[in-house]
Each structure stands twice: as structure tokens, then as C-alpha cells.
Structure 1
Amino acid sequence: MSRDERVGVARRAAGAGATLAVERFRTDLDVEQKNGKTDVVTQADRDAQAAVIEEIRDTHPDDAVVGEEEGALKSVPETGAAWVVDPIDGTNNYVRGIRTWGTAVAAVRDGDHVAAAINLPALGDEYWTDGEATYRNETPVSVSAEDDPEAAVVTPTMWWDFDARDQYGRACQAMVDRFGDLRRVGCAQAELAAVADGSLDGVATNIVAHPWDTVAGVAMIRAAGGTVTDLTGDRWRHDSVGLVATNGKIHDMLLSAAREIDAAE
């Protein structure tokens, strides 16, 4: 299947999950905890993932599917075609009635992204990339041109649980020390999409992030002209330690900040 065809599948699949999820948004949800009080799931997450996978299976019945909820692989295969799915990224926002959440679908081959879509239905935005360019609602977008750290806006992305709050604090401090301001959005794929369209100048974490939280957004940023590396400064991949994604112009400074997160107190 061509890259354009994979883009179409990614967009339809993300749309299917987002449509189901938005129908239940701001309704009476039964919220369950998975691995902690901040790690929550709803039946909408499970049903949205099923809707995404059903759309993918219509045209790619034999491809691997990597996803957050049960019934999907938890790591990206190194060879062959696969799809990386997050049915509701930003579930904590979703259950609180905050609009910043979405469904993300990325097509990968031999472990690397080739196309992706992020559908944020409560915001009315759909992002997608064919690997050559990134679009928001059919309009091409690009990373920002901001090169002044004191004017840049960045975010500490992903989540540091209660046993790692010292790292959370260092992440915020390292960024505040270097940059004009920071945001905490609560939806990793929305944050990455915001770097791709220039709304944010960079995001960073020191952890090994789940592929469903990252692969689609990383594809967006690279196609929009940005830079994404691990903590060593090497090209980021789905199993990298740390993720630093920027417009390229502030990358070295944000990389320096990210490296401080693990520093001894």
C-alpha cells in the first residue's frame, strides 16, 4: 500500500476512535484506575481502540497493532508493517471534561513512522502527515521560527508519578531557568502536534515514553521541519530514553534542560 493510502487509513481510523469518544465526552463515565490514581481508563478508551482497530483491519487484516489498551501489542515490531494507536490520549483531561485529548494513529514500517493522524475532536482539529508535510485541517503547518529562549514556550511532557516527583520538579525548574514560559497540557500527542504547528517551541522528557503517546506526534514534527532526539542527541525512535522535540532552533538548550532531570540533587 502506498504512503498516501496509509495516510487515508490513519485518518479514518483516528476519526473512528475520536467520533466514538466525543459522543461520550462530558457524560457520566465510570472511571477505573490502572496503575495509580493518575493512571485512569474508561470504557470509552476500550471501545474507541476497538473502533480504531476495526477500521485498520478492514484494509490491513494482517498488520500488527500496538496500542495502550488490552488486545494490542505493547511494543513496536522492528520489522514489517504496524500501526500504533492511542484511542484517547489525555484520558485525565477527558474524564475531567477538559477539551484537550484525542485519538492518535501512526503507520510504521520496520520500526519507523511513515504516516500519522491525530484527531482532537473536542477542539475541532485534525492533524495528519504523509511524511513529507504536516497539515492541520487541510492547511500545511510548520514549526515555529522562535530562536530567542526568553521568548520561547516549552513543556515538560509525559508524567512523573509520585515516586519521581523530584524529577518532575527538576524538569520544570530546568525549563523555567532557560525559557520564557512553560505549559502543562496533559495530552502528549496534542503537545507534539503543537510543536509541529508552531504553537509550542519544544517539549521534553527524560523517560522512555510509550509509543502510543509519541510516534504520531514525532512524525508530525519531523515533517513540519522540527528536530526530535533522545537524551544523547541522537535521532529519537520508539524505544529511546528521553524525548526532546523542538523547532530545531532551541534544541540544544532544551536538550541541556532535559539532561538535568536525572541530575543528582
Structure 2
Amino acid sequence: MDTDFDSDAAARAHVAEQAARVGAAVAAGQFRREIAVETKGEQTDVVTQADRDAQSRVIDCIHSAYEANAIVGEEADELKSVPEEGPTWVIDPIDGTSNFVREFQVWCTAVAAVRDGDPVASAIVAPELGDVYVADDETATRNGEPISVSARTDPEGCSVVPTMWWGRDRRDEYAAACREVVERFGDLRRVGSAQVTLAMLAAGTIDGVVTNVYANPWDTVAGVHLIRLAGGTVTDVHGDPWRHDSHGLVASNGEIHDELLAAVGEVEAVARD
């Protein structure tokens, strides 16, 4: 049993991958089968027994190696914010549950190892896509091969994702985000899983991600770590380095970051009106 605070990032990345694989396997076993769906708030904020079962297995896997470490998780009674001190794991058993219940293949299990509030390793497993993303403190990979963000420099050739979820009372900001993307960049994508979106940015599939909404740590930390290790840039809406408690999230290949910040600035202007 390893509870050493100073364990290296490679060991934590290995456990993150194991835990994400286990959770994804549990969820995949219930995908496209009869399953009860509950709502936690708005009609799009859903949860299933698959979420709970997968989270339980993820936690078991982590605690078999790091028994004393805290867990931040979306479901059940786990912590809901990241402690500023000590080793912590941030997990999302099914990121993209709305996709999951609609039988749409874009969803994943995400696990991140955090130390003193900063990620040191992460894994994202998207079983229906056949993709496993892993990052330690040196390299980000997809299916065992190193990945990097895109090298595109012309915004008109870039695809950008307005991510997270703007509530029903913030749809004017959602509309503004979509407008800014389609007017400033080549195309808009929206796939319904924040962590898969961030992983795709790390792999160069898309070029930018933007939101002015506070993003929960289980929706972001694992993917943000991948992007950083893949050479990308992640900030808040003001251009300051992103943290788990930041206002908004702006991520890019670095080349189009200023244009993304200008876009989110316009969204913020709508929010203030």
C-alpha cells in the first residue's frame, strides 16, 4: 500500500489509468441498455446508477494504492472542491452522462491526481471511441503514442468548442459564445463531454475551448493537465493561469489564445449587461 505524498507522477499516472479503465468498463457494461435516469436539477443534468457504480469502482482502485488520499468526485458524498494542501484525486465516473443516456458514444471516465491543488497526472478513457489518454509530469499520450496540440495559427482554419453548460437563465451568454466562435474562427464543435473535448484539444483534433462558466474540477482537471503536457495554454477569462477554482476556462494550442480571450471578453460583456 502506497500512501507516500512524494510518490512520483509516473506511479500516479499508472493508477489514474487503471482507475479510469475500471470505471469506464463498468459504465460501458450498462451503455445502451435499459437504465433509470434521474435529474439533479435541469433536465440536462442527469445521473444514473452507472455513474454511481463506476465511481465506486474508481475509488476502490485508487484507494487500493493510495488509501489515505482524499477524493473529489461528482457523485455521492465525496469532496466537491479541491483541497489546497496534500494529495487528492479528482474523478468523474461518466463525463457526458447526457450523451450516455442518449446512447451517443462521446463520454468518458476521467481521473486526475492532484498535489497541493495542482494536477500531476491524469487519465481519460473514452471506451466507445477506443481512446485512452494519459499524462504524467513529462508526456501526454493517446493509446500509448505521444500527442501534441495543433500548430494551426490562422483562426479561420481553426475549430473551437464553446464548452460546459450555460443554464436556462444564461442562454444569452451561450448564444454570445456561439456567435463569437462562428464569427472569429473556422468552425464550431460541441460534443457534450468537457473532458473528451479537452483531450481532443491536447491531441490536436480541435484548436480551442472556451467558456465563461465556472467549471467543476471533475469536468476539467484531468483534461487541463493533458493540454499542458501536450504544449497547450490554459487560462481563465482574464488570461491568468487556470486553476480548479478559476472563473471560466480558455484553452488553446497557444497560437489562437489571444483571439479566444477576445471572444470570451465579449461573452463576459453580455453577462454584465
Fold conserved between structures, TM > 0.5? yes
Aligned position for 2:106: 100
Candidates 21, 31, 43, aligned match of 2:49: 43
Alpha-carbon distance in structure 1 between the residues aligned to 2:47 and 2:266: 32
Q: Return the offset for 1:255.
A: 1.1
Aligned position for 2:35: 29
> Which one-letter code corresponds to 2:112 in the other structure?
A
> Which one-letter code corresponds to 1:174 in the other structure?
E
Aligned position for 2:163: 157
Runs of 4+ in 1 over 6 A off after TM superposition: none
Alpha-carbon distance in structure 1 between the residues aligned to 2:235 and 2:9: 24
Secondary structure, counterpart of 1:117 in structure 2: strand
CA deviation vs aligned residue, 1:115-140 (integer Å, no higher than 9, x gap): 00000001110000012111000000
Consecutive unaligned residues of structure 1, counting only runs of 5 or more, are none
Q: Percent identity?
A: 58
Secondary structure, counterpart of 1:51 in structure 2: helix
Q: CA RMSD in A?
A: 0.7
Aligned position for 2:64: 58
Alpha-carbon distance in structure 1 between the residues aligned to 2:262 and 2:268: 11
Secondary structure, counterpart of 1:105 in structure 2: strand
Alpha-carbon distance in structure 2 between the residues aligned to 1:18 and 1:260: 37
Aligned position for 2:123: 117
> Which one-letter code corresponds to 1:153 in the other structure?
S
Alpha-carbon distance in structure 1 between the residues aligned to 2:157 and 2:137: 29
Alpha-carbon distance in structure 1 between the residues aligned to 2:133 and 2:28: 17
> Which one-letter code corresponds to 1:128 in the other structure?
V
CA deviation vs aligned residue, 1:180-211 (integer Å, no higher than 9, x gap): 00101100000000100000000010011000
Alpha-carbon distance in structure 1 between the residues aligned to 2:18 and 2:92: 14
How many aligned positions are there? 265
Q: Is the 8 A contact 2:10 2:137 kept in 1?
A: no
Aligned position for 1:9: 15
Alpha-carbon distance in structure 1 between the residues aligned to 2:130 and 2:254: 28
Q: How does 1:139-150 map to 2 (within 5 A)?
A: 139-150=145-156
Q: How does 1:206-221 map to 2 (within 5 A)?
A: 206-221=212-227
Alpha-carbon distance in structure 2 between the residues aligned to 1:135 and 1:230: 25
- TM-score by length of structure 2 reads 0.96
Consecutive unaligned residues of structure 2, counting only runs of 5 or more, are 1-6
Aligned position for 2:238: 232
Q: Return the offset for 1:258.
A: 1.1
